[in-house]
């Protein structure tokens, strides 16, 4: 689904991403972990062609994301609230996202109804603009907008960071259920080792721009990661 070859990125002469090769298969749920400055967000942004590498390429379904835009039709991402249209209400934003994918209001409403527990009564019919929501509720809007698109690839950067514990658990269960029910490829960057190991089938550990561990998740994975970060 996604192949990375000889991908590098530098800032001010410092190598922030250096990945000789990485393959992510269709339907995999990937967790990307690492300390601040490990290169996780930079990698996300290169996969989404938001920044250009010094060298190498990212292939999505065999096509270079820098030269072919078909990947945009099946990829959904939420990186931070800066990517939302904050002068809209959540409802207006959801209908706008639906219209981009030729989905009508009835379809959007049906999809949103499935997210009632995740919203926890804090998003819809509140008469607020997105800019007036808390960061946690803005995150809910961003994640929900991704799910409205029924993507083949879903990318979430630190989705657990600003949401309360109840919503973290609901998001974790939502992602687990999506992984169990369909062939969507999901990549989640997170500092929360408990949630990411619970959700993801495979963990990529980044340090100083390189992937130093590629782990198939099992009962020992959390302890292995905790041991690494405890040093």
Q: What is the residue whose two structure tokens read 């905790």?
A: 226
Domain that holds residue 226: 26-38+80-230
In a domain, 54, yes or no: no
Q: 131-136 contacts: CB < 8 A, separation 24 or more? A: 131/86, 131/87, 133/90, 134/162, 135/81, 135/162, 136/162, 136/163, 136/164, 136/167
pLDDT band at 177 (very low <50, low <70, confident <90, very high): confident
In a domain, 208, yes or no: yes
pLDDT in tens, 36-89: 989 999 999 999 999 999 999 999 999 999 999 999 999 999 999 999 999 999
Residue 180 has pLDDT above 80, yes or no: no
Average pLDDT over residues 209-224: 94
Query: CATH code at 117?
Result: 3.40.50.300
Residue 182 has pLDDT above 80, yes or no: no
Q: Which residues contact 196 (CB under 8 A, 6 or more apart)?
A: 31, 33, 188, 190, 203
DSSP string, 199-230: H-SEEEEEETTEEEEEEE--TTHHHHHHHHHH
Can you give the pLDDT at residue 31?
96
In a domain, 5, yes or no: no
In a domain, 127, yes or no: yes
In a domain, 32, yes or no: yes
Q: Is 193 left (phi over 0), alpha (psi -120 to 50) or beta?
A: alpha
Question: Model pTM greater than 0.75?
Answer: yes
In a domain, 62, yes or no: no
In a domain, 110, yes or no: yes
How many structural domains does the chain have? Answer: 1
In a domain, 73, yes or no: no
């Amino acid at each position: 689904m996604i192949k990375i070859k000889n991908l590098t990125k530098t800032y001010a002469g410092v190598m922030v991403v250096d990945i000789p090769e990485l393959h992510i298969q269709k339907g995999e749920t990937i967790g990307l972990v690492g300390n601040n400055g490990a290169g996780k967000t930079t990698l996300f942004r290169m996969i989404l062609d938001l920044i250009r590498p010094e060298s190498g390429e990212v292939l999505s379904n065999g096509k270079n994301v820098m030269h072919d835009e078909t990947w945009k039709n099946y990829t959904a991402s939420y990186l931070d609230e800066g990517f939302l249209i904050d002068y809209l209400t959540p409802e207006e934003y959801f209908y706008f996202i639906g219209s981009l994918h030729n989905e009508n209001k009835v379809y959007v409403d049906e999809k949103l109804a499935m997210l009632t527990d995740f919203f926890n009564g804090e998003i819809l019919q509140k008469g607020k603009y997105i800019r007036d929501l808390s960061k946690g509720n803005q995150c809910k809007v961003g994640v929900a907008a991704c799910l409205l698109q029924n993507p083949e690839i879903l990318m979430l950067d630190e989705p657990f960071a600003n949401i309360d514990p109840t919503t973290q658990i609901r998001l974790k269960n939502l992602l687990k259920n999506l992984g169990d029910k369909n062939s969507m490829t999901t990549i989640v960057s997170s500092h929360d080792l408990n949630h990411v190991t619970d959700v993801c089938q495979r963990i990529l550990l980044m340090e100083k721009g390189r992937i130093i561990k590629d782990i198939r998740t099992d009962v020992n994975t959390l302890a292995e990661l905790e041991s690494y970060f405890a040093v």
